[in-house]
Homo-oligomer: A and B are copies of this chain.
Amino acid sequence: MAEVVHMIDSEVFLAFSTYATIVTLKMMLMSPLTSYFRLTRKAFANMEDTSLDMSKEDKKKLVRVDPDVERVRRCHQNDLENVIPFLVIGLLYALTGPQLSSALLHFRVFVVSRFCHCVAYLAPLPQPSRALCFVVGLLSTFSMSYRILTTALYL
């Protein structure tokens, strides 16, 4: 019993909180970035987002797809698909009581890989840089999943 309490109070859990918050903030910043690209590229998703002093015809022209906006949105979507699983798996992993050094390694590798992924996607850097960042993040999450399933399997 004391063991469990120790886990939540532990440095592993503090480290998880810190890295989870950082990577979630990074993911959330993709929303304002999308808005920024929509405004500068003048490519909106809704009629009501265009400025008020325009004719209906002009407004319709601004509801369009822009390649730069779509790139940011794909990057955001990839974050949703990878960061959120990390947050859940990371939380459960932190509760299995891993070594602090091992946990820090997993969290740091994942967070760094996602920042690099974002740069590689938006620059864009030539492949396979983006694919590599993606795979490194995936492997970190898989490795934590493996630990959860080997220490706490209950089907």
Chain A interface (Cβ < 8 Å from any Cβ of B) = 1-6, 8-9, 11, 14-15, 17-18, 20-22, 24-25, 27-28, 30-32, 45-49, 52, 71, 74, 76, 80-82, 84-85, 87-89, 92, 95-96, 124-127, 130, 134, 138, 141-142, 145, 148-149, 152-155
Contact A145 B25 (CB under 8 A): yes
| Assembly stoichiometry (copies) | 3
A15 vs B53: C-alpha distance when bound (angstroms): 44
Whether A154 pairs with B15 at a CB distance below 8 angstroms is yes
Instruction: Indicate if the CB atoms of B127 and A17 lie closer than 8 Å.
Output: no
Q: Give the Cβ gap from A116 to chain B, nearest Cβ, in Å.
A: 15
Chain B residues within an 8 Å CB radius of A3: 9
